[in-house]
Amino acid sequence: MRFTHTGPAPTERNDLKTLKTLLPYLWAFKGRVLTALSCLIAAKVANVIMPLYLKDIIDELSVPATMLAVPVGALIGYGFARLCASVFGELRDAVFARVIQGAVRTVARNVFDHLFRLSLRFHLNRQTGGMSRDIERGTKGIGFLLNFTVFNILPTLLEITLVSIILFSRYSVWFAVVTLGTIVAYIAFTLTVTEWRTVFRRSMNELDSKANSKAIDALINYETVKYFNNERYESARYDQNLAAWEASAIKNQVSLSFLNAGQGLIIVAGVTALMVLAARGVVAREMTVGDVVLVSTYLTQLYAPLHFLGFVYREIKHSLADMERMFGLLDAGAEVDDAPAAIPLATREASVRFEHVDFGYDANRKILHDVSFEIPAGHTVAVVGASGAGKSTLARLLFRFYDVTAGTIRINGTDIRALTQDSLRRHIGIVPQDTVLFNDSIYYNIAYGAPDASRDAVIDAARSAHIHAFVSSLPDGYDTAVGERGLKLSGGEKQRVAIARTILKNPPILIFDEATSALDSHTEKAIQRELAEISANRTTLIIAHRLSTVVHAHEILVMEGGRIIERGTHAALLSRNGRYAQMWALQQEGDSAVTQASEQV
């Protein structure tokens, strides 16, 4: 079987590609889209008919007094047309609201889901603040685009077409020529200048995202900033990005003023030309007062939306630029993907085998070299070695955060690349060195191991992790908020929460990745007992630096430079007097020195 993955997709996009990406989300509501368009056409037809009735009213009221009569038919028609324009306009808005909000929701959810399908490499390289701002602006851009397109551009273009037809059929061809000429000049000028201005908007977006990323990064690392008295440094770094954004924003505003001035000049020229034509027609007795009112009313109706059209086009271009960055996230290919014929893993007894595994995060720097070992079902294998030896990489490969460069990892004899990622990860539980909790309650963080579990099951898991008594002693109990990344809890308390949610998940395979290295000796021993309890009869991989935590393992692997240099039980490795024995002796001396120092204190 051949396994492949797709790399990152090209990031270059254009407006047409962005629109094509959006269209399927809209067409999911095709019934509402067609209904809204029908209401739009009906509203605009009624809006164009209104001035015709107004002309008839003016003309009939302008006859000699002896012939004066109330133009009932024209008045009723005018009122009915105005009512239709209003009602159909409101119906259009109401019907299309579901389309806009539904599309925004679907796109946002799909982007969110896609981000979790991307590889760990992508998330290690991305900046959370900037990416969240891109998604926020992109979803808002969809609303802007649809609102302005359906509620402004399409109605305006339809109204311009209808008005031009009426002017051409009822009056001199010059009325239609001047109207269309003004529109063409206006649109051409707007397109040209807006294209020039788009670069400033994109620059603003990039600088805004960068400034936001710096700010969030500094706030997330609040303690580190305070430890090193670097508040001024972080403020200066943030202000440097804001200064670049400010310069780009000023250019954006100046170019906007130029665009508005040019648009105003074109509109004034067109309006003046049409009024001159209308005035000459009246003087030549070719047009009535009602005709002048008709032309001026059409001009009034077109002036506002046409003037607004420039703003709308700018906003649409801005929205497309915002959406471009968000849809660019969807273009990012998943480095690790399920094989076309991937099968789900379903077992309660799992054996794990690494066969001649090579791996490197970078093509020029290999981390693992021909690593082979097996963890029989229900057994415990420990991996020890210095930092950078490749120990934690084994866990990441088993989780399929990355795929091996060469070799194979098998569970119950099946290559994990032939398994669905979802089922694979449901069978693996991990207690990491640095437990990061959600900014929510203790209950939520434990229940995260199995969100559908009952409250009794969550509390039983807490009891098994020996944290129930502590939680019960808190004023808010299981509803106690743990703070950002769990900072309101101590290291030992966070580890017990991590153990509890792993117990709740109840996986057949366990990974302890330096799970106690950051704890004091007393807490470490207590948590080691808890880890030993939950790993009983489970397939367990322990990644450790402190050798005292792995003496009970069925097999201990010693890694150095990405290779396994020794393997065996604790006693067997000590008897060989090799690298493991040297490490054991050094750690025993260190522990002895710490014990003596504490006794003297």
488 or 307: whose pLDDT is higher?
488
Bigger pLDDT: 268 vs 522: 268
DSSP string, 536-558: TTSEEEEEES-GGGSTT-SEEEE
Q: What confidence score (pLDDT) does residue 517 get?
A: 62
Q: Is the pTM of this model over 0.85?
A: no
Q: Which residue has the higher pLDDT, 169 or 125?
A: 169
Average pLDDT, the chain: 80
Does 147 lie in the same domain as 56? Answer: yes
Give how many domains the chain has, as a whole number. 2
Q: Quick one: average pLDDT of 536-541?
A: 88
Tell whether 458 is covered by a domain: no
Q: Which domain holds residue 410?
A: 345-427+547-601
Does one domain contain both 317 and 353? no
Using the 3D structure, point to which of 331, 361, 382 is the last residue of a domain.
331
For 126-160, write each residue's pLDDT tens digit: 666 567 777 777 777 787 777 777 777 778 788 88
pLDDT of 11 above 50: no
What are the structure tokens assigned to 191, written together?
Answer: 């397109």
- One domain for residues 403 and 274: no
Quote the DSSP letter at residue 433.
S
149-153, 166-170, 302-306, 488-492: segment of lowest average pLDDT = 302-306
Q: Are 516 and 550 in contact (CB under 8 A)?
A: no
Domain boundary among the residues 304, 331, 358 is at 331
- Is residue 485 in some structural domain? no
- Tell me the percentage of the chain whose pLDDT exceeds 70: 87
Is-contact 375 362, C-beta < 8 A? no
CA–CA separation, 210 vs 195, rounded Å?
Answer: 23
Tell me, yes or no, whether 305 and 355 share the same domain: no
The two structure tokens encoding residue 475: 């004023």
- For 388, the token pair is 């950078």
Report yes or no on 163 lying in a domain: yes
Does the pLDDT at position 123 exceed 70? Answer: no
Which of 230-234, 258-262, 531-535 shows the lowest per-residue confidence on average (mean pLDDT)? Answer: 531-535
DSSP tally for the chain: helices H, then strands E:
19, 10
CATH code (residue 61): 1.20.1560.10
pLDDT at 567 over 90: yes
pLDDT digits 0-9 by tens, 236-251 = 888 888 888 888 888 8
DSSP letter assigned to residue 153: I
With 0-12 / 13-18 / 19 or more C-beta atoms within 10 angstroms meaning exposed / middle / buried, residue 180 is middle
> What is the structure's pLDDT at 194?
75
Residue 129 confidence (pLDDT): 59
Judge contact between 241 and 257, C-beta under 8 A. Answer: no
Last residue of a domain, one of 331, 360, 380: 331
Tokens of 146: 């649809």
**69 falls in which pLDDT band (50, 70, 90)?**
low
Could you report the per-residue pLDDT of 338-364, keeping only the tens digit for each?
Answer: 888 889 999 888 999 999 999 988 777
Tell me the average pLDDT across 588-598. 56
509 domain-assigned: no
Indicate the pairing of strand 380-385 with strand 539-544: parallel
pLDDT value for 126: 63
Instruction: Give me the pLDDT at residue 594, please.
Output: 45
Q: Is residue 100 part of a domain?
A: yes
Helix (H, G, I), strand (E, B) or coil at 486: coil
- The answer to whether residues 247 and 104 belong to one domain is yes
CATH number of the domain to which 396 belongs: 3.40.50.300
Is the same domain home to 76 and 44? yes
More confidently predicted of 299 and 231? 231
Determine the pLDDT at residue 8: 40
464 found inside a domain: no
Together in a domain, 389 and 325: no
Residue 596 has pLDDT above 70, yes or no: no
Lowest mean pLDDT among 62-71, 388-397, 422-431: 62-71
Domain assignment present for 382: yes
Distances, alpha carbon 139 to alpha carbons 105, 122, 216, 293, 323, in Å:
8, 22, 21, 44, 7
> Tokens 């946002």 label which residue?
108
Do residues 129 and 84 share a domain? yes
Residue 273 belongs to some domain of the structure: yes
The pLDDT value given to residue 354: 95
Section 476-496 average pLDDT: 84
* Range of weakest confidence among 160-174, 367-381, 434-448, 538-552: 160-174
323 and 362 part of one domain: no
301 and 360 share a domain? no
Strand partners, 353: 374, 410
Q: How far from each other are the two terminal CA atoms of the chain, in whole angstroms?
A: 63
Residue 599, helix vs strand vs coil = helix
Do 158 and 207 lie in one domain? The reply is yes
Q: Where are the alpha helices (DSSP H) in 126-230?
A: 128-148, 154-170, 173-220, 222-227
Instruction: Please give the structure tokens belonging to residue 341.
Output: 């014929």
Instruction: Output the six-digit token pair for 126.
Output: 């991305």
Predicted local distance difference test score (pLDDT) of residue 541: 93
Exposed/middle/buried for 163, CB within 10 Å: 0-12, 13-18, 19+? buried
Q: Does residue 212 share a domain with residue 121?
A: yes
Name, of 5-9, 172-176, 517-521, the range with top average pLDDT: 172-176
